[in-house]
Structure 1
Amino acid sequence: MGKICKSCGNYYSGEYCDNCGYGKPTGVSESVKKYRKAARNKPLRMQTEEDKKLYAKWAKEEKQEHTEKRNDPKAKMHFLLVVIIAAAIVIGYALYKSGALFSNTREEVIEQYFSSISQGDFDKFVKCFPKEIKREYEDDRQASGLGKEEYMKALYQEFTDTYGEGYSIIVKFGNTTELSAEDYDMSAYKDQHGSAPKLSEVCEVVTTVEFRGAKGSHTSRLYIYVGRSGGYWRIFGMDEDMGSINADGTPNEGDVPPIEDGSDPER
């Protein structure tokens, strides 16, 4: 036998109203709540005694449902889980931005730079630089039409010609001098690349690099400038210590000084 819903006036034949959900044993449905909210907007002077009794009944049902949800162990566990996940996201983001999470060191980015050259690894190579330089290398490779491995081989073909296939690069670190991030001039970098990242730290790392291969070997002393941006160390530039110059204009390799102990912060 059909019934008329006391909540929305819909005619239904089941255990509960299929229009608003009134009479559902699992609690007050969302559609019921919406209907009730609209019904309660009826001005008080226009409410009949039947309306007032119905609104009081709704309030009692909703209060009971709220109490049941609040005391439900599953609901409490769900709420606690949401709080834990939200806290973990906030903490993880803060650690990521500070560089404490998934960061690198000054030495690691320099080692990655030289190992990516000897291995011909384009992806590792471009990650050593700020986004502006990284983008320029990626654009240049796309324009060349070369694959990543082919591009790296062409970029450093001179090393292969000089030292032979499968050459190795040995890196040793000397003194590290901290520079003021505020005083480190990025204007030339910005002019060249269009924009410049904000640096929290800048260092000059004295590095001795030895190339070894079947065709020969060579040792260079480099001053590599690394900066920390967004929690990661990147390479911004490097200068080579040429030592004295021979009559033919080439550096005297015997002048390349041995690497110093990096414990002394002063060069």
Structure 2
Amino acid sequence: MGKICKSCGNYYSGDYCDKCGYGKPAGVSKSAKKYRDAARRKPERMQTAEDKKLLAKWAKEERTEVTEKRVDPKARQHFLIVVAIAAVTVIVLALYRSGAIFSNTREEVVGQYFSAISEGDFDKFVKCFPKEIKRDYEEDRTASGLSKKDYMKALYQDFTEEYGEGYSINIKLGNETQLNADDYDMSDYKAQYGSAPRLSEVYEMVVNADFRGLKGNDQAKLYLYVGKTGGYWRIFGMTEDVGSVNEDGSPNDGEIPPVVSEEN
């Protein structure tokens, strides 16, 4: 059954007038607004039960509209996204610093070091060291004017001359001894490089290296000092056991050059 619009007199059958919009919950038309204002100015003693019901309904709708305007759903959504990103960033940073993610192992950095030498990969090579040694190698290469590949060839020219082009280095890890990181003396390192990394863990790792090429082969027993800094394991020192023997039983003459400045 049709109804008469109290605002414009139009007949309508829906929930609100399809001509002036009277009775529509949102987007109140100007005609409907005039009707509301007139109804509100009517003295309370003259208001009918229907008028009071409509006035209460309009007041509720207007409160809802004000609340919706104050809280922009998109702004709230953007705020929540920013908060979520910030929280994830803090968590990832904490995990990175602790070494729980994006880290490596002691064995990996040692393997990477020897493979970088045999492959002549400068970038892979310098990533094995703390920032001080890495910077030292990078500055030296820049001063030399050599490409990364040529610099690695020059750095390990003795290996090429002794074992031939395309030599390989196979390693076998021996004993690992954990050292006290708090008491480990880094004074010589600091004196040489100007600063020293803060180590959370330190290990002495025995490495038996087998050098093989077309010109010959040799073996060496090396002691690598590996420390964890900034969530990563890095090599910061090495010594060689010159008393070790070669594969043929002859004494090692100690001519294999240390690949990192000697410690201890």
Q: Place the TM-score, normalised by the shorter chain, in its bin.
A: 0.5 to 0.7
Q: Secondary structure at the match of 2:209?
A: strand
Deviation at 1:138, TM superposition (A): 0.8
Moved over 2 A (4+): 61-72, 74-83
Distance change >3 Å, CA 110–CA 62, structure 1 → 2: farther
Where do 5+ consecutive residues of structure 1 fail to align? 1-24, 26-60, 246-250, 255-267
Deviation at 1:64, TM superposition (A): 5.2
**Counterpart in 1 of 2:95?**
95
**Counterpart in 2 of 1:178?**
178
2:220–2:244 CA contact under 8 A, matched in 1: no
Partners of 1:191 and 1:134 in 2: how far apart? 16
CA RMSD of aligned residues (A): 2.6
**Counterpart in 1 of 2:219?**
219
Partners of 1:192 and 1:75 in 2: how far apart? 55
**Counterpart in 2 of 1:147?**
147
> C-alpha offsets along residues 68-127 of structure 1, whole Å, 9 cap, x if unaligned?
45373x444433322221111111111111122211111111111111111111111111
Deviation at 1:173, TM superposition (A): 0.8
Partners of 1:65 and 1:177 in 2: how far apart? 70
Equivalenced residue count is: 190
Partners of 1:212 and 1:69 in 2: how far apart? 76
**Counterpart in 1 of 2:258?**
none
Where do 5+ consecutive residues of structure 2 fail to align? 1-26, 28-61, 254-264
Residue identity matched to 2:205: V
Partners of 1:135 and 1:62 in 2: how far apart? 65
1:69–1:75 CA contact under 8 A, matched in 2: no
Residue identity matched to 2:194: G
**1:69-218 equivalence runs, <5 A:** 70=71, 72=73, 74-218=74-218
**Counterpart in 1 of 2:251?**
252
**Which of structures 1 and 2 has the bigger CA Rg?**
2
Partners of 1:78 and 1:137 in 2: how far apart? 46
Partners of 1:75 and 1:103 in 2: how far apart? 38
TM-score, length basis structure 1: 0.65
**Counterpart in 1 of 2:35?**
none
TM-score, length basis structure 2: 0.66
> C-alpha offsets along residues 144-189 of structure 1, whole Å, 9 cap, x if unaligned?
1101000000100111111111111111111111000011001111
Partners of 2:232 and 2:67 in 1: how far apart? 48
Residue identity matched to 2:112: Q
Deviation at 1:65, TM superposition (A): 5.1
Partners of 1:181 and 1:191 in 2: how far apart? 18
Partners of 2:232 and 2:82 in 1: how far apart? 30
Partners of 1:237 and 1:95 in 2: how far apart? 27
